[in-house]
Each structure stands twice: as C-alpha cells, then as structure tokens.
Amino acid sequence: MNNDSIKIVFLGDITGRQGRTAVKSYLSSLKNEAEKNNTTSPFIIANIENASHGFGLTKKNYIDLSESGIDCFTSGNHIWDKKDIYEYIDEAQNLVRPINYPNGTRGAGSRVFEIQGQKLAVINVLGRVFMPPIDSPWQVVIEEIDKLKEEGVQHIIIDFHAEATAEKICFSKYLAHKYNTEENALVKGFFGTHTHVQTADEQIYEGMAYITDAGFCGAVDSVIGMEFETSMKRLSTSLPERYEISESPIAQINGVEVLIDRTGATHIARINLKVDNNITGGAVNESN
C-alpha cells in the first residue's frame, strides 16, 4: 500500500436493526484496528435503502449510522419508503439516491469527497431489468461522469442497484472501456447491490474493482433479511403478505475491501463475516 493509496470498504445493503447493530460493531473493530496499527481508517460506503425495518431510512438511523463511521450512504428503489426522507434528504450531505430518477427529484445522485488530498465521487444508479420504471442509466451516468471529470475528480465509485447480473456486468464493462486505460482508470469501483446475495466474482477489470453483488448486512437466519414465515406465505401462495424483518441475533456482514491509487484499483477482497448481536459490542468473526 503506497502513500497515494486509498482504502475503501463498501458494505452491501444494511437490512433492519440486526444489520445496523452488526455494522456498528464491525465499524468499531475497524476503528480499533486502525488506531492499534497507527493507520488511516478506510473510507466507508454503505447501501442503506433497507436500513430502517427493511424499507427506507429514517433520519434517526441516518444520524446514528453517520456517527458510527459511515462516510457515504448509497441507496436504491426503497429509499423513499420512509416519509421523513423528504424532510431531510436535501440536507443529508453524505446520502446519495439513484441518479436516474427524473430531473427535479429531491436529493443528489452523486457526491464528491476529498480524501488524502484527492477527489473521489460516489454515484448511485438503478438498473431497469426486472425493476420499476426509471430513466435509462446509460446516458445519465455518462453525462455525470463527464461533468465530474471536468471538475477534477480523480476517482469514481459506482453502486449499481439492479436485479439482473447481465445488466450489471454489461454496464460495468461499458464504463471501463470508455473511461479506463492502462495508465489511468477513472472508474475505480463498480459494486452491484439489491439482490442481498453476495457473488463470488470479485475482480479487477481494466483498473476497476468489480463485484456483481456485494451481498447484505443483516440476520443470517432469514430470507434476505426478512422473517421466514411471512416470506414463505407470500412466495408459496402469491397472496399479499406484509414482509417482517428477521430479529435473529446472528448477523452477517457482506461487502468488499478495495485499494485504489491514482492509476486504478490494486486490490479487492470480499468481506464475509458474522456478528453475534447478543454480545455487547458484538463479536466479529470470519464466516465459514
């Protein structure tokens, strides 16, 4: 790790109270490790569209997670599910909503951060395959990246919140081909979210750290964070059934750890940990 390197930790969809509690324990362990080794703490990006009881993000949880060490919050199609989002989204300087909502939508589709004297932008995007209707990401994201490049941004990280793996792979390769060269990669990271199931295809592609889906942070004994019984009723009968968040205390932490420098991504590794929320402060262990 050279002096120009920036360490980024990207966490998959935080889901419910168990996910929030586990993530706070994990972030505390990262902080303690950095202090012990006298190193700089990583820049933390987390998808939080399911953080408040599985749907949306309350202002209270936004503040709590900010104080716990998350530097940038990305989201997705559920970001609007809690009504108070409309009261605080314009003032939430670290929160990014999908950029391909129509012009005039409240909030910001990208944010720029200064880290170690370098400008890093985070863009949030929604896919369109098997997803609710939304503006095409292709033109919108290109326009945004071109604007950020003119503003002197050196690193761009993208959270592509989408259902279809093919759409994620295709869009990531398109951006890498358009903006990255052997000498300099502008798009340093492209991380898929939404399915809550971590994929095993982490790689560095043309200077860009990539994973099709980062996974999720929430109860292990669940159906992608939701309680089994209500999920089974809904899926087996096709009748309306309100999903309930799982309160199982053993939680998983999914995401990726990435190193980038001025030329491109140099390292990516999956994060797959378990936390016992019954233990005060949590116990972070490697997942089997």
**Residue 51: closest CA among 98, 84, 15:** 15
Token pair of 4, please? Answer: 């120009």
- Return d(Cα 287, Cα 171) in angstroms, integer: 30
- Return d(Cα 130, Cα 127) in angstroms, integer: 8
Where does the chain show beta strands of DSSP type E? 6-11, 13-14, 43-47, 72-74, 110-115, 118-126, 155-161, 187-193, 203-205, 208-211, 216-219, 250-260, 265-276, 284-286
Burial of 201 (0-12, 13-18, 19+ CB in 10 A): middle
**Residue 209: closest CA among 232, 189, 193, 233:** 189
Would residue 53 show up in a list of annotated catalytic residues for this protein? no
Radius of gyration of the chain (CA): 18
Q: Which member of 53, 78, 155, 267 is catalytic?
A: 78
Active site residues: 78
